[in-house]
Chains A and B, each alone.
Chain A
Amino acid sequence: MNCEQARTQFVDYWRGTLEDSEEFRTHLGSCERCRAEAEELKDLWGTLGNLPEEDPSMAMRVRFYDALRDWRKQEAQRRQPLWWLRHPAFQAACAMALLAVGIGTGYVVRGRDSAEVSQLRGEVYNMRQLVALSLLQQQSASDRLRGVNFAYHVEQADPQVLSALLTTVNHDPSVNVRLAAVDALRNFNDSPVGRNGLVQALARQDSPLVQIAILDQIVELHERSAVSAIQFLLSGQNVNPDVRQRAQWALKQLQ
């Protein structure tokens, strides 16, 4: 083995991964230059591996999770089959058209029994509620996501929809669906059952993303009754560091 061949094995020698070392050792034994270089650089290699690591700031993690959540929202929106239905321009056009139709119909049916209209309105509402409830029970996560979106548009705080949403927040296997359901619970902010359900859901979550979303919403609602639930969460042994940080922040906001 000559010097050049020996040098190609230096890195393995430093790493301790040199397999067939007899020839190599013979060369090191006979060539003083190679031996000196191998030993001198071996120390440097050792120091290089022990350089202290730098820690990124906490803000980096927060930024990452914020951006991930935005991405997820956009993705969920894109995945919906008729996503353009929710586009503001389309909705504005529909509103104008409906207004025109409404005014026209009003003139035509003036004097007719208004009970018929309110019955129709009730049916539409029931239909929307039905769609939300049935979609929330589908196998496919994207269907359930659509269900959550329907639940968003049930105008009145319907107890059945609320209970379905809370079941989703607590038991849905998909983090995406759970996150969307937490969001949809905003519709029920005025309902004590909804607020209470949100606080109770905190302890049941295993996903840091959902936990953080719930914590944010609790702070938004300024729900003081959540303090003990947050303290309980913090007392757990395996709390994710981000969740811990956000929970501590939430406690400060609530106090």
Chain B
Amino acid sequence: MYEASDSSLMQAVRDGDLGGLAVLFERHHRSLFNYFVHVNGNRDLSEDLVQDVFFRMLKYRKSYQPERSFTAWMYQIARNAHVDSIGKRKFEVEIGDREFASTNMMDENLKRKQEVALLKRAMARLPLEKRELLVLSRYQNLKYEEIAGILGCDIGAVKVRVYRAVRALGQIYFELAGEKAS
């Protein structure tokens, strides 16, 4: 069956067919929600922000340019929504380890469970900028070009920054693993 692309749906929304937004919501709300949860660690706030993103899309729909990636545009709006939500607070938000502890990991074996818990703790300690980069590049699997579009830099810079973020994560992760082992 023919499935409309994100871009053509957004164009339809831009031209007044709001039904397209419902389809876009169904396609993207879960990944957006996960993006926010990883960035701010707060489920309730993340749900509010997802809603905010879709209504910003409606509000600014005239500014959507079909030649640009829809995903990149959406995450750019998401970043702005996040920045606005923390308002005058510092851009770097400290997230408690506890807030990341709520996931269903019922069926996983213990080792993997510990690994995941440790990785989440390490992610929570990472500066926001690096954390966000890892969520976009690995968790959301965005293309380099899309991330470059969101961050406003070139592809080469994205590669270097992602590498640095992984290395920083690795340092924290292995440090935590060491603490635990000792």
Contacts and interface: CB of A to CB of B under 8 A. Distances in A.
Interface of A: 7-12, 14, 37, 40-41, 44-45, 47-49, 51-57, 59-61, 63-65, 67-68, 71-72, 75, 174-176, 207-209
Interface of B: 17-19, 21-22, 25, 29-30, 33-34, 37, 43, 46-47, 50-51, 54-55, 58, 102-105, 108, 115-116, 119-120, 134, 137-139, 141, 156, 159-160, 162-163, 166-167, 169-170, 173-174
A10 B58 CA distance: 39
Given A56-B46, A64-B54, A11 B159 contact: yes
A14 B159 CA distance: 11
Nearest to A75: B18
A207 B141 CA distance: 31
B79 to A, nearest CB: 19
B138 A56 contact: no
B50 A60 contact: yes
A44 B118 CA distance: 11
Given A51-B119, A56-B30, A44 B170 contact: yes
B156 A60 contact: no
B134 A48 contact: yes
Nearest to B113: A52
Contacts of B138: 45, 48-49
A63 to B, nearest CB: 6
A77 B173 CA distance: 55
B177 to A, nearest CB: 10
Nearest to A57: B47
B119 A44 contact: yes
Contact of B18 (A12, A57, A71): A71
Contacts of B34: 53-54
Contacts of B37: 54
Nearest to B174: A40
B116 A51 contact: yes
B166 A72 contact: no
Q: Which 5 A-B pairs have the closest CB atoms?
A: A56-B33, A60-B47, A175-B19, A11-B162, A48-B138
Contact of A55 (B17, B30, B139): B30
Contacts of B116: 47, 51-52
